[in-house]
Structure 1
């Protein structure tokens, strides 16, 4: 894909006036994550979803409601995916698919859509590059338009402000001493399980938010986040171009021999 087109995907979502200049710590967030049969939004299917609706009460993150479910992909789950997230066809074959009834006459898609529209904003870790694209594609296949909501994606913030060699959610959680990581450390969960990921990300949001590099109001935070995402992509584009130029130079050198 053309580099300029990639950069054009980075855009600030619409923020309603009543929350735009509010301290983001005073807002209700839906932190969410998913697991899938693969990483291609156009071909792969969601097999697990989890979301927490939470807010800060007395200086602590409190979960108000939760939605956690598995989804039947109506196809074979690749071994590589099962090895990563622990989900097999035996676990989901008896469950409804994305477009089938889940409860009270609502499909799985409709239940997830309703949950994602609780609260004021989303939060996730690298969700803009994967989870949102996967969910949007699944929703489109059943005739639902999932617009991007105001959100905090913790990945570009950690990428910019951490000196850690690794930039994944586990590295971020360990850097900020997130309590939910204890479950993973003692074998009670996996960071490739949507519910564990959401628990970790929810706590991580508040711990990272205590540092001064994150703007206070949601509008300012989103402006800075778009800038961070753009800078990160430009970095990888430059890195790729240098690698391609080096490869081409080596190829031409071999031809001249």
Structure 2
């Protein structure tokens, strides 16, 4: 199963107020595990980035002045996502901006049901607890010490780990094998402790009741073969 985890950085909170995307980061999951395939673009928003936004994500007007417009990278983005479900933290925010950008260049929007919201998943699993990305990283012991600013690709990588944990985490004994596994030159070995068979003695009363049932209900019972039936 293919899924896309993604994050966006923007110039503000509402596309309806003229705010735009300045960064998109995404990575591919197959069967809930990262494949190493990523998508990352800085975008010229065609407007000034407010200082408050720069303090959050660290992206300046100078940084994106020579970057492509969303229209220039839209087809590459659509091809990367394909028809996969899209996973984001507070997905309504990212969906609003992605769909606004698509609409401005005449592309159809994504349907809401395409999105999986890890914020909603976390609120349901940990009601009343902090569920920001940083809080979830602390809860699941995911190292985010290198996260100085909000960054689309970095946040996506952290979110992929959080998403896996929200789904139940890595199962005991799960191992990822290398490319050679398909040809049989690598194998997964799981050590399991040996447990000797345990004898189970059947009480005499239960044996007598079972024998009486067979003699009464089962003709030519194999269990009684070789025995002398009781009178």
123, 130, 137: which is aligned to 1:159?
Answer: 123
2:46 aligned with 1:74: yes
Aligned equivalent of 1:29: 3
Q: Is the 1:191–1:197 contact (alpha carbons within 8 Å) kept by the matching residues of 2? A: no
- Alignment partner of 1:73: what SS? coil
Structure 1 or 2, whichever has the larger Rg, is: 2
Structure 2: distance between partners of 1:139 and 1:150:
15
How big is the shift at 1:63? 2.2
Where does structure 1 lack aligned partners over 5 or more consecutive residues? 1-26, 100-106, 212-257
Where does structure 2 lack aligned partners over 5 or more consecutive residues? 170-231
Aligned length: 167
How big is the shift at 1:156? 1.0
Q: Is the 1:123–1:152 contact (alpha carbons within 8 Å) kept by the matching residues of 2? A: yes
Give the alignment of 1:229-244 within 5 angstroms: none
* Residue-by-residue CA offset, 1:153-186 (whole Å, 9 max, x unaligned): 11112112215542211112221223xxx2x32x
* Residue-by-residue CA offset, 1:188-222 (whole Å, 9 max, x unaligned): 234611111100111111111117xxxxxxxxxxx
Q: Is the 2:58–2:149 contact (alpha carbons within 8 Å) kept by the matching residues of 1? A: no
Determine which structure has the larger helix proportion and give its number: 1
Aligned equivalent of 1:109: 74
CA RMSD of aligned residues (A): 1.8
* Residue-by-residue CA offset, 1:78-98 (whole Å, 9 max, x unaligned): 000001000001111011111
| TM-score scaled by length of structure 2 | 0.67
Q: Which has the higher contact order (CA 8 A, sep 6+)?
A: 1
Structure 1: distance between partners of 2:149 and 2:134:
7
Give the alignment of 1:152-231 within 5 angstroms: 152-163=116-127, 165-178=129-142, 182=143, 184-185=144-145, 188-190=146-148, 192-210=150-168
- Superposition misfits of 4+ residues, deviation over 6 angstroms: none
| TM-score scaled by length of structure 1 | 0.61
